[in-house]
Amino acid sequence: MELFVVGAGYVGLTTAVGFAQLGHRVTVHDIDAGRIESLQAGRVPIFEPGLEDALHQEQARGRLAFTTDATPGPAVQMAVVCVPTPIGLDGLLDMWIVEDVVGRLAAVLAPDRMIVVRSTLPLGGPDRLERPAGGRPDSDRPAIVVNPEFMAEGRALADFAAPSRVAIGYLSARDRDAAARLADLYAPLNAPLIVADARSVVLVKLASNVFLGLKIAFANELARLCDATGADVAVVADGLGFDPRIGRAFLNSGPGFGGSCLPEQAAAIAVETARCDVEAPLLSAIATSNTTHQQELVSTVERLLPRGLRQTKIALLGLAFKANTDDVRHSPALTVARGLRARGAKVVGYDPVANATAQGADPELETASSAAEAIDGSDAVVVATEWPEFASLDWPALATTMRGDLVYDTRRTVAPDAVTAAGLRYVGLGRSGVPATPR
């Protein structure tokens, strides 16, 4: 099939490469000419494991091309919309870019073609998509379906190839055939399939993200309860997770959830429920829990330092919102960095791949080119991202360069004994009452 993907970001590039790998011919368009130019030259502007190699292969096979031309060619059977839906001033996902792109595509694509919206939509999104269909009567427009993406950054290509599920939503009855055709395209992936009305499918996506945020927030509140009672949150999480009704995934405590999806959607669902006049105290509390947790982490570091945070240097290890990505959107590490600075600390961050994106997001953030450089002269080390390289740091050597002795590990990435053997003080989120033994 001939595909036209709009938006060459995390979702667009993964979708384009994934469909090319399934044998389709894909042209990717982006409004950012510089991005298209570098993709044409085989350079991927984001860090996503395996993506660049796979992209080179598909370019070489002639199945993947990039263009600044926003108009799909006449052979294009399916246009896939992967543009951003940032949070608007009203707290809901803002879909004006999606509406604009869908409107333009609907104006030029023939009625037997289809538009697939991969971007995450607000709950009222499907109703608004029907309106801008290029001003053409409903019977004359291309089919429009929603097909939210559930991939996780850091393993996006693997998730495309083996999705937990494929959800396809039709706007109206006449879009059902297109939904079935799209389902056929995904058939080789053997994934559980949901084909339903678009309103339900949009809520599947929102609820999935919010539920993941809920599990993380739950684990983080438990971690602070463990700190207060001397329990170990990993034991508690394992104990919970063995129950198949609960599951262990997303119960690791840490500095809070981040990324482009979970924080915005945890905030958005609170606004959606209020807008619909639905009393939903649980759904409204998830974003607040995450924010509170990050403030508490800053307070914890302050309490752990003998003279507080004023005039201290804090080495912040990890800036990406999780390992294996350079994405710093809503990264808890950056929130913690701002919190520490607001209380008088100088923060020097280091991330194996996200230094540049972090500085782009927070120009005041100082970064170092290695963990050792960040730690040199520091009063405390705060581990904020679970990069594997932080598990094998040379603590005896690093200890000699530090001014203070605190290592605060929010991710349980560092081996406590390695830190204490170097004469340093290890404190792990959710395990502070527990003797320092590696798990």
- Residues tagged active-site: 261
Q: How many helices (H) and strands (E) does the chain have?
A: 16, 14
Q: How far is the CB of 285 from ligand NAD (least distance, A)?
A: 22
Shortest distance, CB of residue 243 to ligand NAD, whole angstroms? 28
Nearer to ligand NAD, 6 or 382 (CB): 6
Give me the least distance between CB of 101 and ligand NAD, in Å please.
5
Helix (H, G, I), strand (E, B) or coil at 382: strand
10 Å CB burial of residue 199 (0-12, 13-18, 19+) is middle
Query: Do the Cβ atoms of 185 and 1 come closer than 8 Å?
Result: yes
CB of 265 to ligand NAD, least distance (A): 8
Report the nearest approach of ligand NAD to the CB of residue 249 (Å).
16
Nearer to ligand NAD, 179 or 202 (CB): 202
Residue 95 vs 347, nearer CB to ligand NAD: 95
Residue tagged 């559980």 (tokens): 192
Q: Which amino acid does the sequence have at 417?
A: D
Q: Is 302 helix (H, G, I), strand (E, B) or coil?
A: helix
Mapped onto helix, strand or coil, the DSSP state of residue 170 is strand
Q: Which two tokens stand for residue 189?
A: 């992936």
Nearest-approach distance from CB 85 to ligand NAD, in angstroms = 4
Question: In the complex with ligand NAD, which residue's Cβ is closer, 93 or 297?
Answer: 93
Burial 377-401 (b: 16+ CB within 10 A, else e): ebbbbbbbbbbeebeebebeebbee
Q: Tell me the closest approach of the beta carbon of residue 205 to ligand NAD, in angstroms.
A: 8
346-350 sheet: strands from edge to edge: 366-367, 346-350, 313-317, 380-383, 406-409, 425-428
Applying CB under 6 A, the residues found at the interface with ligand NAD are: 6-12, 29-32, 35, 82-85, 97, 101, 118-120, 149, 151, 153, 260-261
Contact 168, 146 (CB under 8 A): yes
DSSP secondary structure string for all residues of 212-242: HHHHHHHHHHHHHHHHHHT--HHHHHHHHHT
Query: Strand 78-81 vs strand 64-67: parallel, antiparallel, or unpaired?
Result: unpaired
Task: Tell me whether residue 269 or residue 427 sits nearer to ligand NAD (CB atom).
Answer: 269
- Which lies closer to ligand NAD via its Cβ, residue 17 or residue 419? 17
Question: What does the alpha-carbon distance between residue 271 and residue 275 come to, in Å, rounded to a whole number?
Answer: 6
CA distance 276 to 281: 14
What does each C-alpha distance from 244 to 107, 223, 407 come to in angstroms?
A: 49, 21, 35
Shortest Å distance, C-beta 44 to ligand NAD: 12
Q: Helix crossing, 332-342 with 281-304: angle to 10°?
A: 50
Task: Using the minimum distance from each CB to ligand NAD, give the nearer residue, 83 or 283.
Answer: 83
**Position of minimal CB gap to ligand NAD:** 9
| β-strand partners of 426 | 407
DSSP 279-290: --HHHHHHHHHH
> Given the complex with ligand NAD, which of 82 and 297 has the nearer CB atom?
82
